[in-house]
Amino acid sequence: MRILKLIVPEKFKYRLFAAVVVFILVPVFLIQFYNYQLSQRSISEEFSEKAAKQMGVVKTTFISQVQKLFLYYIYLEKDPAIHLALTEPTAVDESLRTSMLWSSKRPPSQDLPPFVSVTLADRLGHIYESSDGMSSNPDYELFLQNPGFEGLTPSEDSYRWVPGKTLSLFAVLTDNADQQYGYLRIDFAYSSWFSDIADDLLLLQNYVLLNEDKQPLNSSESLRFMNVNLVRAMIDDIGSKPIVQRTDERHSAILTASSIYNFNWYIVSSLPLSTYLGNMKEIQYQNITTLLLLSLICIAITFLISNAVSRPLALLQRNMAGSASKELQTRVPERLFRGEMLELAQTYNQMMGDIQGLVHKLKLEERQKEALHYQMLMVQMNPHFLLNTLNTIKWNALDKNDSDTAEICIALGKLLETSLNSDVELIYLKQELELLQAYIFIQNFRFDGLVEVQFHIQEGIEHALIPKLISQPLVENALKHAFPVLNGEARIFVRGYTERQTLILEIEDNGIGLKQAEQTARRDDRKGIGLDNVRHRLQLLFRKEGQLELSEADSGNGSGAIARISIPLLVSNPYQSEGDKHVENSFGGG
């Protein structure tokens, strides 16, 4: 971290400059260099693949040409006209002899390939050339003394390939009785053929033939750009991929090698990359120069932008530093700002005004909280006096054997104690039902025991958590609105059960129903707060997951209503015994 702090500038404008250089200019240079290398490598790989395919085409075509020469030799040897012209030259008119030897009526497959010359000689001193016709050649003996004919016999080797500047086929012609009747030499100028075929191909490659000793058979300009040792290594590993050979900084070529198994020769091609890559180096230098100029312009613009931002910010910083000592009375002159900085200055001035207002408001609220806290401390004493008074009334009633009044005090003390316990909002369902029973106990004293309450609680949910005193307002609402006139048939059903992960608490009565109760409520000037209190408490505790619904009871006679509370099912096992109570004993006891 210390090293990072030393490297990273503190000033905003220098940080902006460093960010532009590190995160924009340097990556752009690196990406440019990488793209150049990638494009050069991609082009080299693409041309290497094409060079290898073209080498296969050239090799196949070359072998096909050589095979045509050999087939031409077989055709000449078996042609009766050739046999007649060479064995009995006097039997054929001298003017017809040439047309017989070089007749154009041969099958197209036996036409002479380009760059091929043929020389025939009989045993009587005549030589026939494909270009000159018949002549009494004074060099007849010299022609027969060519080393290519040495050792050729009808019974053993009757032909021989001799490589050199041209590829020559030397052969002795024999008849069906294996009797020699002439001599044949076919010369194939393959260097010219390579140059000619290269003009018709997509890639302008130079081709070189090498013998079994890996020595070139023909001279070529491409030999100047070939590394002989590299070529020999490629031949040793003839299945290797084409390689890129760089002879100097300006010249590089793709070398491809393949073998001609029929002759134990090798064919090597050289594809100069400079022909296709062009002046990529110069293009790269131009791109670098352009990037440098753009970088300088970018740096200059960066400094201008950073100054336009840093100067107004420095002015704001100075005003903010002195705002506390000047009791938030500082303001910045908006005439010195432009654009977004003007909006920032206006926002700052408005913020300082708002802060002044908020500080004044907070001071007023603080004084109000202190006054409210004092009042709460005073009010907190009254419930304790009320509990002590209930205890006094209870013991006085017990001394006078007034058990009913004592039980009412116990029940009321239980409700009052629960309401005063502000630290707990959720209690067990069984505790809520005990409080509800205490409330109903008090109300039955009021209504002479005419209200019948039945509890139907699902087993296993007694420790489900429920807001305290949530059911008492619902029962109170039923007693107030459902039974305007009480009789012996007033019943309230309290049900508790679960649906999936929801706890349902229902309060059902068999009273006059919701519609008639609403009509009665309209005539009552006083508005109740019990149901609204329940809804607000459910919303505060459970948000949308806590609901209170009122509906008509499905009792068959069209009377009665149901108040249904739905809250999330929260179960908490007890971990300690209940604490002491201010009003002793339970209600209903002796």
Domain that holds residue 558: 448-522+529-568
Nearest to 109 by CA among 159, 80, 67: 67
Residue 22: burial class (beta carbons within 10 Å; 0-12, 13-18, 19+)? exposed
Residue 108 resides in a domain: yes
As a whole number of angstroms, the distance between CA 175 and CA 83 comes to 8
Question: What is the average per-residue pLDDT within 550-564?
Answer: 77
Q: For residue 540, is it within any domain?
A: yes
Number of domains forming the structure of the chain = 2
What sign does the dihedral 108-109-114-119 (CA atoms) show? negative
Give me the chain's average pLDDT, please: 76
Position 455 pLDDT exceeds 80: yes
Question: For residue 122, is it within any domain?
Answer: yes
**Percentage of residues in the chain having pLDDT higher than 70:** 71
User: Does 387 fall in a domain?
Assistant: no
pTM for this model (two decimals) = 0.46
- Does a structural domain hold residue 542? yes
- Model confidence pLDDT, tens digit, residues 8-32: 666 666 777 777 788 888 888 788 7
What percent of the chain is modeled with pLDDT above 90? 9
CATH (domain of 177):
3.30.450
Residue ending a domain, choose from 169, 192, 215: 192
- Per-residue pLDDT of 70-120, as tens digits, reads 888 888 888 887 888 788 877 767 666 666 555 545 555 566 667 888 888
Q: Which residue has the higher pLDDT, 570 or 35?
A: 570
In a domain, 584, yes or no: no
Q: How far apart are CA 332 and CA 41, in angstroms?
A: 60
Give the model confidence (pLDDT) of 487-539 as tens digits.
Answer: 667 888 999 999 989 999 999 988 888 887 777 765 554 555 678 888 888 98
- The residue from 192, 207, 241 where one domain ends is 192
Q: Which two tokens stand for residue 152?
A: 């050729």
Tracing tokens 């000619």 back to the chain, one arrives at: 196
- pLDDT over threshold 50, residue 579: no
Q: For residue 489, is it within any domain?
A: yes
CATH number at residue 499: 3.30.565.10
Q: Does the residue 461 lie in any domain?
A: yes
pLDDT-derived band at 172, boundaries 50, 70, 90: very high
Q: Give the pLDDT of residue 87.
A: 85
Residues 238-258: what's their mean pLDDT? 63
Cβ–Cβ < 8 Å for 193, 206:
no
The domain boundary residue, chosen from 192, 212, 231: 192
